[in-house]
Amino acid sequence: MPTDQRAWHAGLSCWRGREQCNDFSIGIELEGCDDQAYADEQYDALTDLLAALKRQYPTIGGDAIVGHSDIAPGRKTDPGPAFDWSRLSRMRDE
């Protein structure tokens, strides 16, 4: 889906005091379950996608990469406790 169109991924949501995250965010979905480890290939693909998005939107900072659980707590749980945010951060820094 083009990044300038709404993906309708967030639903009722709020991030940094702004509601309706569908209006200003890019939704990325990973296949899996909250409590199962994500595959190496998923981290590789996600890192590549984030690098491409960073080139297209250079003002996006690493602190703006969050899970659905951050923008809709109590309603959404993904990517879940099995997602290794530290690993993603290290891979993005390489």
Annotated catalytic sites, by residue?
Answer: 29
CA distance 58 to 72: 25
Question: What H or E segment, with its residue span, contains residue 55?
Answer: helix 40-56
CA distance 5 to 22: 9
